[in-house]
């Protein structure tokens, strides 16, 4: 089974993020969920983004990088929205990465390296009408990533919700979340 490090979104380490981690654990995977916000959670996305902005997006990402330092190299990096920053950076730059799951966000590969690392599979998940994912460049970056490597998959879900997998938020979309969770578990189960 895979060892996973899961980075939370801008609203913090919510019960919904913990619930997703629990689903992966039920499937037999070891999941680490570092708290990049040092115990802070936020009711709204705007409040969470404000906290990340005041703290510094670079600082939040570095907290994720530091959290992964104590783990083995051959882990799978999972990020939700803001958490995609450390997940994608580690998947692209830390030797031995086993894979990546990027949810609600995707940065251009050039942000961290010249190319996606050979042999590292990645899935990108987002809603086709999510204004953050579809309209701010993430969907374009995901399409470029999937075109650049045969180890990448892009899954689009019908809807406009951001953070649709977090069962503790009003943006939760149960059907889409269950589909994503099934795909994520199959992805992890298929890694050798």
Q: Is the pLDDT of residue 12 over 90?
A: yes
Residue 8: which pLDDT band, with cuts at 50, 70 and 90?
very high
**Average pLDDT of the segment spanning 116-139:** 96
Whether pTM exceeds 0.85: yes
Could you list the residue range(s) of the whole structural domain that residue 96 is in?
A: 3-189
Decide if pLDDT at 192 tops 80: no
Give the pLDDT of residue 168.
98
pLDDT digits (tens, 9 = 90+) for 78-88: 999 999 999 99
Please count the structural domains in the chain. Answer: 1
With cut-offs at 50, 70 and 90, classify the pLDDT of residue 57. very high
Q: What is the average pLDDT value for the chain, to the nearest integer?
A: 96
Classify burial at 31, counting beta carbons within 10 Å of its beta carbon; exposed 0-12, middle 13-18, buried 19 or more: buried
Q: What CATH number should be reported for the domain holding residue 11?
A: 3.40.50.1820
- Kindly state the average pLDDT of the residues 12-36: 98
């Amino acid at each position: 089974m895979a060892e996973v490090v899961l980075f939370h979104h801008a609203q913090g380490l919510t019960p919904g993020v913990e619930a997703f981690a629990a689903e992966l654990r039920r499937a037999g995977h070891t999941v680490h969920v570092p708290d990049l916000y040092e115990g802070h959670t936020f009711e709204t996305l705007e409040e969470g983004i404000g906290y990340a902005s005041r703290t510094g997006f670079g600082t939040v990402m570095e907290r994720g990088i530091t959290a992964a330092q104590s783990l083995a190299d051959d882990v799978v990096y999972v990020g939700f929205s803001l958490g995609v920053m450390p997940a994608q950076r580690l998947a692209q730059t830390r030797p031995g990465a086993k894979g990546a799951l990027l949810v609600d966000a995707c940065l251009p590969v050039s942000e961290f390296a010249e190319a996606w690392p050979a042999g590292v599979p990645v899935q990108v998940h987002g809603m086709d009408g999510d204004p953050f994912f579809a309209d701010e460049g993430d969907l374009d970056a995901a399409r470029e990533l999937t075109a650049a490597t045969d180890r990448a998959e892009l899954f689009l879900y019908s809807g406009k919700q951001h953070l649709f997998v977090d069962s503790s938020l009003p943006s939760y979309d149960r059907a889409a979340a269950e589909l994503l969770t099934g795909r994520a578990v199959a992805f992890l189960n298929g890694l050798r």
